[in-house]
Amino acid sequence: MEIVRQSKMGIRSLVILACLVSWSARADEVSPLTIHGFGTLAATRTTSDDVNYVRDLSQSDGARRNWTGKTDSLLGIQFSAHLATGWEAVLQTVTRYRPDRSFQPEITWAYLKHDPSPHLSLRLGRVETEFLMLADSRDVAYSYLTVRPPSDYFVGLPFRHVDGLDVAATLPVAGGIVRGKTYVGLEHENIPLDGPTWRLNDSLHWGAYLEYLSGPWQARASLARIHFRGELPLDLIEALKATGLPSAQQAASRLSVDGTTSQFIGYALMFDQGPWQALALYNHIQHQSHAFENSNAAYFQAGYRFGTTTPFLGASWVRSHARPPLASGLPLPNPLDTAISQGASRNHADQHTLVAGLRWDVTEHVACKFQWDGVRGKPTSTLPYRMIRPSWQGRMDVYSVSLDFVF
């Protein structure tokens, strides 16, 4: 049923794009089509069988001690049709490891773009979410140094696109360039949990960012908010309500996600000049629902290019903050309080990761990468992973090799 639902969503996006292209093409009979693509062939393994290491929480399972290609391998194709002057239609599909454990292609972009002036751009359709630096290009591994975006920083952000619109503007200021974008749309993505899948059910998602570029420097501040529609696929909330106890009713209300809002704040600073590349990222995530813990995360990276090779170093950390304990009010021990405690422990993150690697630009459009991630955390740090065993101690090494390309 999950595959059928995703297929219907893809068909709907294709129909919308076809209608937009058809409408615009009538204004200009010439519609040159260009095709571009990107991809990654990767293999990843860890030194632990106690957890599954995933790229982000959109994946149901990931890497353990044995080498696997599912964590980071993907392929994307982008079609662009230049319509009337200032008009363009874009369709992008990506094949990657999905929440349903398949590699079924997914429509990630499907929009009509209009540039009324060189400083203003508008898009309507399925557009990417750009509420954090690198979020819009996280699938195009060729565009950055590492094998994957920093896991500690992005693992809790599985939201990739919305069906809606965005507006971007560019303005020269004080010898540099100010760029800003705002977007609004509905979320239709599905997030796998430990067993069931959480459907976002047209949750309202809006965001904006403002950045300044001057010479080799780029600074950005961003804000995004998601107003969730629909409840987590858990029986716990209904079971708490059914007890009739005031304390259980209060616990159910605090754990509810339906009608709550999550906020994402991000700051970024990048430097790129000559052989040097460096960046610093920071984010703060705040949830109204007690089903999730508020968190802070940061990432620092630097690389220096020697001819066709670029060694790089990085460090990241993520830490979430435990909520006040909730209780059903039933005599202890009871299964409801046990479920509340298990749910709270499953959403905790407290770890840091050291990264070292090498990028080799084989040709102009092909890069080979080798990377080591040293994860050092507490045994209670479980949010970034899947299928956690009680023997997890919070430490492991991750080894990755990838071949990235664009065409």
Task: Give per-residue pLDDT as tens, 342-392.
Answer: 888 888 999 999 999 999 999 999 999 999 999 999 999 998 898 999 999
User: 308 pLDDT exceeds 70?
Assistant: yes
User: 210 pLDDT exceeds 80?
Assistant: yes
Q: Which residue has the tokens 């703060």?
A: 284
Residues 89, 80 contacting (CB under 8 angstroms)? yes
User: For residue 324, what is the DSSP state?
Assistant: P
Beta bridge partners of 277: 272, 303
Residue 68 sits at φ, ψ, to 5 deg, of -140, 145
Of 87-91, 97-101, 155-159, give the range with the top mean pLDDT. 87-91
Q: Domain limits of the chain? A: 51-66+116-406
Q: Which pair of tokens denotes residue 374? A: 């040293």
DSSP 175-217: TEEEEEEEEEEEE--EEE-SSSEEE--SEEEEEEEEEEEETTE
Residues 4, 11 contacting (CB under 8 angstroms)? no
Q: How far is CA 55 from the centre of its chain?
A: 9
Q: How far apart are CA 246 and CA 60, in angstroms?
A: 36
| Residue 31, pLDDT score | 53
User: 111 pLDDT exceeds 50?
Assistant: yes
Residues 371, 356 contacting (CB under 8 angstroms)? yes
| Residue 1, pLDDT score | 37
The top-level CATH class assigned to 51-66+116-406 is: mainly beta
DSSP 339-356: HHHHHHHHT--EEEEEEE
Q: Which pair of tokens denotes residue 35? A: 């095709």
User: 15 pLDDT exceeds 70?
Assistant: no
Q: How far apart are CA 117 and CA 97, in angstroms?
A: 39
| Residue 199, pLDDT score | 85
User: 19 pLDDT exceeds 70?
Assistant: no
CB atoms within 10 A of CB 223: 15
Q: Sorting pLDDT into bands at 50, 70 and 90, what band is 138?
A: confident
Q: How far apart are CA 206 and CA 184, in angstroms?
A: 4
Beta bridge partners of 189: none
Q: Sorting pLDDT into bands at 50, 70 and 90, what band is 180?
A: very high
Q: How far apart are CA 66 and CA 73, in angstroms?
A: 16
Residue 289: left if φ>0, alpha if ψ -120 to 50, beta else—which one? beta
Closest CA to 320 of 287, 342, 353: 287
Do the strands 161-173 and 120-128 form a parallel or antiparallel pair, or are they unpaired? antiparallel
Q: Which pair of tokens denotes residue 107? A: 């429509």
| Residue 198, pLDDT score | 85
| Residue 362, pLDDT score | 97
Rounded to a whole number of angstroms, the distance between the first and last alpha carbons of the chain is 34
Q: What is the mean pLDDT of the chain?
A: 89
Residue 181 sits at φ, ψ, to 5 deg, of -145, 145
Number of H helices, E strands in the chain: 5, 20
Q: Which pair of tokens denotes residue 364? A: 């102009």
pTM (predicted TM-score):
0.86
Q: How far apart are CA 144 and CA 133, in angstroms?
A: 12
